[in-house]
Structure 1
Amino acid sequence: MATPEQIWSDADLPTRRLAGLALNPAVPENVLLRLLSDAPLAARMVLCRDRALPDAVVDAVIQHPDTRTRSFFARNPHVDPAQRVRLVDDPEWFVRAHLADGPRVADPARPRPLPDEAVVHMISTYDNELLGGPFYQQISAGLRRSMPTHPVANVRHWGVGEWRSLAPDTRAALLVDPDAGVREAAQRHVRYEDPAWVESALPDRPCHGRTDLLLHRPLTRAVVEGVLARPVGEEDKAMIAVNPTLPPDTVALLAADPDPEVRARIAQRADLGPAERRTLMTDPDPDVRLAVSVHPALSEEERARIDYQVPMDHFFVHHPAPEAPRDPRAVRRDALSRHPLLRRRAASDHFLPPDLVARLASDDDLGVRVLLAQNHPDAPASLLLRSFLEYTGPERSHLTTRPNFPTDGLAAFADHEDPEVRALAARAPETEPTAVARLTEDPDPAVRAAAARHPNLPQPRLAALLDDEELAHRAAANAALPPDTIRRLLRTGGRQARPPE
């Protein structure tokens, strides 16, 4: 079966024109229904997967006889999830699998959760092989919290996976659950909390299982001493350095380890003693000094005495909001700190109050400003634009999706040397037609594609682009496409873009 990429690669010029019509916001409902009924698969793929749809078109998609067409709608990130779950009992497993797999969205976006009742139905009736990792991203936070006590046993089984965050009485109930599968899953988690069991199950070779146990599970003294005396892998000591069950004397011992990676990890422990903190504050390794410089037990004066360098090559990206907000007092303390890394931590908080948003928006550290822009729902327009212009790392484009990203004034960037900045001009309603036309011939393909959909594109150039193999579908999606051209493309199956001579 052809992949979506292959389907698009095999599409000819007429089909790509029709696919553009499927995305055109000016096309009326009856045209969309005609495309759904008569257009080739590539155009139906774009129609059903890549845009929001009127209710009448959704109704027709749900009833469409072609399995692939319905499956594309099952993964549409633009429609209400309540519309997608109308396919929850589709007769074809292929469609149900795509519904469970969910929309493909670019990082850092996440698909909107499916309705809770649909998720419960899928957990209760779908084969486990259809309910992989992407499915979990479509479960609402409220349902995840209620899973351990849900009346449906299969759902409680999923809830056991949240074991570490469960209250003692909830754990106790799961251990005596009437469903054998739930009880067994809970008992497995109890074993993971038994240091003696961890010791007996610890692999004697480097592997993912050993890594998990050394990092996260309670360790016996024998395991710790074995790692210190006879490490199996080069990272063994660095792994136990962050294990919360590490004995205090071992923490002190590893604070003087010859490996700077081990010392840097020890420096981040909340239970690090005062003597070890003082020693690491003057460590010869800059990464160790940086790690200890943000230790929560240090005062601002102590931090100021540490010779650290703040890295500027970090990725300043979006961080999903935690289910439980941080302590507002700790966030404020970080935001007011003289240490840029602590201010960066505060800037990533989605719940930062307005006075701290205003303060950090003018911070002198690039990381603070960009993290605030990437994460706070009320980041001001001026900060979003400034961050986009100054930051060139991963998830730069995410800034343009933030609620307050501006459109006014972007036409001024039409001649900018950075193609990503030039593309901003295609978002500006005031960009001059001559500039838009010029951008359709830009050296950068993303700039050309964005300009081809700008409504200020001169009509002669728009007509010419309908014959362009690369940009025909973008031109056909332009809201300024004349109605007679739309009708002609529809009537001729995309084969004729211009009136006959």
Structure 2
Amino acid sequence: MVAFYSSALDGVAANPALPTPLLLRLIAFDGGGHGPPFQALHRPGLPESAVAAVLTHPVLDTRVQFAMSSQADAGQRARLADDPSPMVRAAVAGGPEWTHDHRRKVRPLPDAVCGRLLEDPEPSVRSALLGSRHLAPSFLASLVRHPDPAARRAALRVWDELTADGRAALLDDPDPEVRRSAALCACPHDAQLTAALLRDPAALTEALRRGLLDHADAGRFLAEGVHLVELAGNRSLPADLVDRLAVDPDDDVRLAVSLRPELTEARRAAIHFTVAPHARSDVDWVAAGIADQDVLHRAATSAHPLLRRAAARSPHLPPDLLRLLAEDTDVLVHTHLAVYHPDTPEEVLMSVYARLGGTFSAWMATGHPRFPREGLAARYADHPDGIYRQLAVRDPAAGPALIERLSHDPDVWTRQAATRDPRLPLPRLLEALTLPELASSAGANPALPPSEMAAVMDQAGVPA
């Protein structure tokens, strides 16, 4: 695996100990027309003086980067909603594309700000807003009678939270696509709507998957042998037709039947299906009941690997089910526990860490609240695998001599981890600043003296 190298200036831009005067100096940098390093703009808790400098920065990309920062407060990002550049306004409207920690939700922009962005004269801004993953349900619900059909379609994302009048308005919308989408939202409880959607080629597949089917329509599609996977997953499918699909020649159809929520474990086990080693674990009824203890118990105790994988994605697993899944032999169950559950046992975290390696494991080691720290130096400092030697740096008992030794490790990821550690002796830290593969890590080390941070800026041509 090739390590990612970047400059000492990038490291300094991310350094949590960077003094505010140097931060302001860095943010003012035009970077040859590219602006300051993005690490300076994606820092958590930027002081007001730095935010003010970003908001008026002459380099367009600087304002775009800050508008998309998951570390910035929604109120700070909202101050760019009236930026003269539509690119910046679109970045504000769309919001962060990724977060450092998937468990942390991005706070939505205030509804009033979203309302202004939705009336923006630039179509790209309006489109970015309506496509954003970070809109408040209250704002989406307010779009039911908006003059733009695209906005009314966005309101469908919170169908279950709309009033009866709001739903009725969308079902009777003048735009055929809005009406179709609203009908698909309502059809799980409406056989008449489902029957109409089955006559619409654009809605047929989704209506078969989730609509309220009568026996005649379901039997007709089964007899025709089309869309059987969708049919097999439909919650309203009559029991006799479920039995017929359970022995269908198509393995995908039998697999879809095997995931049905009403099946007993004995009935599920009687179906012959195949689960690929890395098959996706998206099971609708488990995802919908991600905090429902009965749903989680049924899925976690099932012999079906896809149900156990789906249950392992819940951060709401109670201790007994967490222990049960921690003993599971399915590696994806362990992976999901490591990603989603804050109380995943140490042995599971360590097994996932060793198996996946790379940037994912680096995130898990630094970001998971239960990932171990104590005793790692004694256990792993001399391990033959570099991915384990990196862990020795996490141990609070590791001394400066060990950290320095690991900064010379044959594995570049281990060298970089040790170089970021504030226990690294200063002479080695300064040496690392001059080495291409360690310069960024050295720049990010909180123990780097401010005078050396300033020297890095001098060398990079950042004006004083």
TM-score by length of 1: 0.71
Query: Partner of 1:265: helix, strand, or coil?
Result: helix
Q: 1:393 to 1:323 in 2, by over 3 A?
A: farther
* Cα distance in 2 for residues equivalent to 1:246 and 1:60: 60
Q: How does 1:258-277 map to 2 (within 5 A)?
A: 258-270=249-261
Equivalent position of 1:112 in the other structure: 106
**AA matched with 1:422:** R
Match of 1:488 in 2: 455
Structure 2 counterpart of 1:201, one-letter code: D
Q: Which of 336, 342, 345 is the matching residue for 1:377?
A: 342
User: Post-superposition shift, 1:72?
Assistant: 1.3
Matched residue of 1:404: which SS?
coil
Q: Which amino acid aligns with 2:110?
A: D
| Structure 1: distance between partners of 2:8 and 2:267 | 68
Range moving further from structure 2, 21-30 or 35-44: 35-44
Equivalent of 1:448 in 407, 411, 415: 415
CA displacement at 1:358 relative to structure 2: 7.1
Deviation string 1:358-392 (CA, Å, 9 cap, x unpaired) is 74486465656654443233446x35644545653
Shift of 1:397: 4.7
Is the Cα contact below 8 Å between 1:254 and 1:266 reproduced in 2?
A: yes
| 2:209 corresponds to which of 212, 215, 218 | 215
Q: Is residue 41–residue 62 contact of structure 2 (8 Å, CA) maintained in 1?
A: yes
Q: Paired residue for 2:133?
A: 137
Of the structure 1 ranges 398-407 and 56-65, higher mean CA displacement relative to structure 2 is found in 398-407
| 2:183 corresponds to 1:190 | yes
Matched, 1:479 2:446: yes
The answer (yes or no) to whether the contact 1:18–1:35 under 8 Å persists in 2 is no
Moved more, 473-482 or 407-416: 407-416
1:77 aligns to 2:42 (yes or no):
no
TM-superposed deviation, 1:56? 1.2
Greater relative contact order, per chain length (Cα 8 Å cut-off, separation 6+): 2
Q: Residue 191 and residue 426 in structure 1: after superposition, are their counterparts in 2 closer, same or farther (change >3 A)?
A: closer
Are residues 1:92 and 2:85 paired? yes
Q: Is the 2:30–2:59 contact (alpha carbons within 8 Å) kept by the matching residues of 1? A: no
Where structure 2 has 5 or more consecutive residues not aligned to the other structure, the ranges are 188-192
Flag the 1:171–1:470 CA change in 2: closer, same or farther, 3 A: same
Q: 1:91: Cα distance to partner?
A: 0.7
Whole-angstrom distance in 2 between the partners of 1:163 and 1:315: 26
Cα deviations by residue, 1:18-38 (Å, 9 ceiling, x for unpaired): 332222222210011111223
User: Does 1:406 pair with 2:397?
Assistant: no
TM-superposed CA distance for 1:71, in Å, is 1.1
**Matching residue of 1:255:** 246
Q: Distance in 2 between matches of 1:64 and 1:338?
A: 56
- Structure 2 distance, partners of 1:473, 1:358, is 39
For the Cα contact (< 8 Å) 2:208–2:234, is it kept in 1? yes
Does residue 462 of the first structure (1) align with residue 411 of the second (2)? no
Deviation at 1:112, TM superposition (A): 0.7
Compute the displacement of 1:420 (Å): 3.2
Of 399-408 and 165-174, deviating more is 165-174
**What's 2:199 paired with?**
200
Change (3 A) 1:315 1:108: farther
The correspondence of residues 276-291 of structure 1 with structure 2, limited to 5 A, is 281-283=269-271, 285=272, 287=274
Q: 2: CA distance between counterparts of 1:486 and 1:408?
A: 31
Alignment of 1:313-392 (within 5 A): 326-332=291-297, 337=301, 339=303, 341=305, 346-353=311-318, 355-356=319-320, 359-360=323-324, 363=327, 365=329, 371-379=336-344, 382=346, 385-389=349-353, 391-392=355-356
Give the Cα separation in 2 of the matches to 1:148 and 1:444. Answer: 54
Over the aligned positions, Cα root-mean-square deviation in angstroms equals: 4.2
Q: Contact between 1:148 and 1:160, CA under 8 Å: does it hold in 2?
A: no
Give the partner amino acid of 1:29.
T
1:147 maps to 141
What CA distance in whole angstroms lies between the structure 1 residues aligned with 2:147 and 2:195? 30
SS of alignment partner, residue 136 of structure 1:
coil
The one-letter code matched in structure 2 to 1:483 is P
CA displacement at 1:84 relative to structure 2? 1.7
Over residues 222-271 of structure 1, what are the superposed CA-to-partner deviations in whole Å (9 max), with x where a residue is unaligned?
Answer: 6853563364xxxx322322233544443232223222332232233345
Check conservation: 1:350, 1:377, Cα contact below 8 A: yes
User: What letter is aligned with 2:375?
Assistant: G
Equivalents in 2 of 1:343, 1:266: separation in Å?
A: 16
Asked if structure 2 preserves the Cα contact closer than 8 Å seen for 1:19 and 1:42, the reply is no
In the alignment, is the contact (CA less than 8 A) between 1:384 and 1:405 conserved in 2? Answer: no
CA gap 1:111/1:471 in 2 versus in 1, 3 angstroms = farther
Q: Percent identity?
A: 31
Residue type of the partner of 1:409? G
Structure-2 separation of matches of 1:420 and 1:82: 40
Which letter does structure 1 place at the counterpart of 2:228?
A: K
Q: Which moved more, 1:458-467 or 1:57-66?
A: 458-467
Where 1:21 maps in the other structure, the secondary structure is helix
**Matched AA of 1:93:** P
Structure-1 separation of matches of 2:289 and 2:248 = 36
Q: 1:116/1:153 Cα in 2 relative to 1: closer, same or farther (>3 Å)? A: farther
Distance 1:114 1:432, change over 3 A: same
| Amino acid across the alignment from 1:160 | L
Counterpart among 30, 41, 44 of residue 48 in structure 1: 41
Contact 2:422 2:447 in 1 (8 A): yes
